[in-house]
Structure 1
Amino acid sequence: MSTKIRLAGAAVLALAAFLLVLRPWQGEGTTTLTASTATYAVRLSVDRPRSGANTFDIEVEGRNGGTTPDQVSLEPVMPQMGHAYPPVTASPLGAGRFRAAGAVLPMPGMWRITVTVSGTNGTEQAVFPLVVK
Structure 2
Amino acid sequence: MSAWTLHPGRRGTATPWIVALFAALLVCAAVAAGTRPRPPVAFTSGNDRYVVTVTLPDDRAGTVPVALTVTRRDGGPGVVPPVSVQAVEPAMGHATPPVLAEAVDASAFTVHGVHLMSPGHWRLLVTVAGSAPIVFPLAVTG
Fold match by TM threshold 0.5: yes
Q: Which residue of 2 aligns with 1:117?
A: 128
Provide the C-alpha distance between the structure 2 equivalents of 1:95 and 1:65, rounded to a whole number of angstroms.
13
Partner residue of 2:32?
none
Q: 2:139 corresponds to which residue?
A: 131
Query: What amino acid is the match of 2:71?
Result: E
Residue type of the partner of 2:45? A
Q: Tell me the secondary structure at the aligned position of residue 133 of structure 2.
A: strand
**Alignment of structure 1 residues 3-42 onto 2, 5 Å:** 28-42=38-52
SS at match of 1:103: strand
Which structure would you say has the larger RCO, counting Cα contacts within 8 Å and 6 or more residues apart? 1
Compare CA radii of gyration and give the structure with the larger one. 2
Post-superposition offset of 1:125: 1.8
Q: 1:47 aligns with which of 47, 57, 66?
A: 57
DSSP 3-state at the match of 1:64: coil
How far off its partner does 1:129 sit? Answer: 0.2
CA RMSD of aligned residues (A): 1.5
Structure number with the higher strand fraction is 1
Q: TM-score, normalised by structure 2?
A: 0.69
Percent identical pairs in the alignment equals: 37
Gaps of 5+ in 2: 1-36
Q: Following TM superposition, where does structure 1 have runs of at least 4 consecutive aligned residues deviating by more than 4 angstroms?
A: none
The CA distance in 2 between the partners of 1:49 and 1:38, in whole Å, is: 28
TM-score, length-normalised on structure 1? Answer: 0.73
